[in-house]
Chain A
Amino acid sequence: MAYDKFNILRSSAVPLSIENVDTDQIIPARFLKATERVGFGDNLFRDWRYNSDDSPKSEFVLNNPIYSGKILVGGKNFGSGSSREHAAWAIYDYGFRCVVSSFFADIFKGNCLNIGVLPVQVSPEFADKIFKAIEADPKTEIEINLPEQTITILSSGERESFDISSYKKSNMINGFDDIDYLVNIKPEIQQFASSLPI
């Protein structure tokens, strides 16, 4: 029941080449006060996206109308810092379904997989190629093929494969989540709990 099924995604992409983008930038703490998972996309990259008077910062990539799409391409070490799943929610709620980077922080990557945003880790060289392709043509399309585990820059045909565990891959393709799995093995968990030494 968990989330949208993910199979093949073909889309233009939004480039954000800054390194070490932390989850406080993705969604600042003051916007974590909701008790429901709604509206986080409005505050995605809030302080990079808006001035203190709420006017948009024209130089920030999300405010530049030439860039759009369901894929966010980030710099190295994307998603470091806080464990707030709100960061992944904000990315999803804004409309992204995939984040590409040459390196992800652990907790962020896990959070994305748990809510149906696919983190695709590519080599630094391939990340550079994507940034250059978008720079040359902001409408350039990228194809993420989850069953084949490949990412392709469609204009040039350049392609790389990416890793994902077969368990998580199957979850994403079928729209299942870990809770579905765990609830199904509850008797085994209770058996384990009763056998704990202390």
Chain B
Amino acid sequence: MSNTLFDKVWDSHVVRKIEGGPDVLFIDRHMVHEVTSPVAFLGLKSRGLKVLYPERTFATADHNTPTINQHLPVADPLSANQLKALESNSKEHGISYWGLGHQKNGIVHVVGPEYGITQPGATIVCGDSHTSTHGAFGAIAFGIGTSEVEMVLTTQCIMQPKPMKMRININGKLGLGVTPKDVALFIISQLSTSGATGYFVEYAGDVFENMSMEGRMTVCNLSIEMGARGGMIAPDETTINYVKGREFSPKGEAWEKALAYYKSLKTDVDAIFDKEYTFDGSTIEPMITYGTNPGMGMGISNAIPKAGEVEGGAATFAKSLNYMGFQEGEAMMGKPVDYVFIGSCTNGRIEDFRAFASIVKGRKKADNVTAWLVPGSHIVEKQIQEEGLLDIFQQAGFTLRQPGCSACLAMNDDKIPAGKYAVSTSNRNFEGRQGPGSRTMLASPLVAAAAAVTGVVTDPRTLIQ
């Protein structure tokens, strides 16, 4: 029987199938952070349970951490308490812990791949919906709730009904200034924020084949924003070259064995998907969102659609535009921007900072813009310095902060003030996501850079030399 990539990985991890119920799915690698894990550890304690395979779980602190002065004690007592809980829980259960100040500390979905925790064909979970990022390697990776974190800690399994399968094919040459983020925002704008709910997505076609691992991670990261549990891309030479030699990657004989497995990970030619979409990559423009969910995106040169042109209720659409302070039918270009945020598990990797630098080089930050540049990890931070990007940023009037989730969800002090407009390379433009009352426009690092130097929403293609 013909199988999809997803079937192959899922089926080989099923410990037991329950009649009229979910599958018991074995989890190869588990990542935890400070926000969604403390109650899971408490649950273990109250039931008198232990962690079954501590070597399969990795802990890093990212959601709550400050992005300046990380050498100082964390000022907010609640955040400090959560960070302390992660440290003591990790130590008590023998779990690798990469806390604040540790050289491996960073955003969980940035450091996981960097250290080779992420492997093709693996099952990977974390109490964070953007765990879908790791699907870029041909892994089945998805976000789970805290009860499931507890399950994985104590049994290395969760119970999940097998999702339906969707394939999204995009072929063609991407235009000037069109990045993986634009491809993802385009797909979500076509499918809506719930269009892939109940599905696991495979991305296929030369647009994805030609992408770097960083780009593939950006695309898979955003799978959850159209409702999909996760998204994946078949491993190829690009994947194998990235994975090889990383700290937690298989070595020696184990690597040869793994390599044979990785090469088997592709969808059979006549495998059937429950749903399939095909788009032409050459029609995608640099994208920007105008509303309060990631499905409310458009080509940057277009006008905001009218209520009658979009799916969904008119009242919900009106509420969204009212929150943003926008009118239907008006242009996005030229709208004033107060804040620019580049970072997050979506766009906090080296390639994103290279893209940002390509626009700001030789220009100056606009006076009306506050810009937060937040690398996803210390490796990214170091690369920024070594490649000379930091000099470019500093000459243009930008400073670099320290790694963490930062303004993506504004759990730390990096909050966009009420009513202010932010062009953000993160993943969610929900009401108040980046701070109470904040107004977010999601976009690529190029669009963010164009806004940062002009102070308004600007088509980056006009600034590319």
- A98-135 contacts to B, CB under 8 A, are 103-107, 110-111, 114-115
Verify A193–B53 contact, CB threshold 8 A.
Answer: yes
> How far, in Å, is A25 (CB) from chain B's closest CB?
6
If A106-B227, A198-B257 touch, does A18 touch B316 (CB 8 Å cutoff)? yes
**Does A11 make an interface contact (CB < 8 A)?**
no
- A-binding segment of B15-23, B203-211, B441-449: B15-23
Verify A183–B155 contact, CB threshold 8 A.
Answer: yes
Verify A106–B49 contact, CB threshold 8 A.
Answer: no
- B-binding segment of A55-63, A141-149, A151-159, A162-170: A162-170
How many residues in A have their beta carbons less than 8 Å from beta carbons of B?
A: 59
Chain B interface residue number, banded = 35 or more
> How far, in Å, is A170 (CB) from chain B's closest CB?
9
Verify A179–B194 contact, CB threshold 8 A.
Answer: no
* Chain A residues within 8 Å of B409, by CB: 24, 29, 82
Which of B47, B81, B261, B432 interacts with A179 by CB under 8 Å? B47
> How far, in Å, is B76 (CB) from chain A's closest CB?
8
> How far, in Å, is B64 (CB) from chain A's closest CB?
7
* Chain B residues within 8 Å of A17, by CB: 315
Verify B147–A52 contact, CB threshold 8 A.
Answer: no
> How far, in Å, is B409 (CB) from chain A's closest CB?
4
Cα A108 to Cα B99 in complex, Å, equals 28
Cα A56 to Cα B24 in complex, Å, equals 44
Which of A37, A165, A186 interacts with B39 by CB under 8 Å? A37
**Does B159 make an interface contact (CB < 8 A)?**
yes
Verify B197–A106 contact, CB threshold 8 A.
Answer: yes
Cα A20 to Cα B225 in complex, Å, equals 11
- A-binding segment of B138-146, B179-187, B337-345, B382-390: B138-146
Which of B78, B197, B257 interacts with A103 by CB under 8 Å? B197
Verify A47–B431 contact, CB threshold 8 A.
Answer: yes
Residue among B197, B313, B430, B431 with most chain A CB within 10 A: B430
- Interface flags for B104-124 (1: CB within 8 Å of A; 0: not) read 000000000000000000000
Verify B26–A193 contact, CB threshold 8 A.
Answer: yes
Which of B16, B148, B227 interacts with A114 by CB under 8 Å? B148
* Chain A residues within 8 Å of B254, by CB: 198
Verify A75–B157 contact, CB threshold 8 A.
Answer: no
Verify B147–A178 contact, CB threshold 8 A.
Answer: yes
If A33-B411, A77-B194, A193-B53 touch, does A198 touch B258 (CB 8 Å cutoff)? yes
* Chain B residues within 8 Å of A22, by CB: 293, 428, 430
If A30-B410, A35-B82, A167-B20 touch, does A183 touch B154 (CB 8 Å cutoff)? yes
- Interface flags for A51-84 (1: CB within 8 Å of B; 0: not) read 0100000000000000000000001110011111
Verify B129–A107 contact, CB threshold 8 A.
Answer: yes
Verify B313–A167 contact, CB threshold 8 A.
Answer: no
Verify B78–A34 contact, CB threshold 8 A.
Answer: yes
Verify B197–A77 contact, CB threshold 8 A.
Answer: yes
Which of A28, A83, A179 interacts with B36 by CB under 8 Å? A83
> How far, in Å, is B142 (CB) from chain A's closest CB?
8
Which A residues have a C-beta under 8 Å from some C-beta of B? Answer: 1, 17-20, 22, 24-25, 28-30, 32-37, 47, 52, 75-77, 80-86, 88, 103-107, 110-111, 114-115, 165-168, 177-179, 181-183, 185-186, 188-190, 192-193, 196-198
User: Contacts A20-B312, A82-B129, A107-B129 given; 9 further ones with Cβ under 8 A?
Assistant: A18-B315, A76-B312, A80-B194, A105-B194, A110-B160, A181-B159, A189-B52, A192-B26, A198-B258
Which B residues have a C-beta under 8 Å from some C-beta of A? Answer: 15-16, 18-22, 24, 26, 28, 35-36, 38-39, 42-43, 47, 49, 52-53, 63-64, 76, 78-79, 81-82, 85, 127-129, 131, 143-148, 150-151, 154-161, 163, 193-194, 197-198, 224, 227, 229, 250, 254, 257-258, 261, 293, 312-313, 315-316, 319, 409-411, 418, 428, 430-433, 436-437
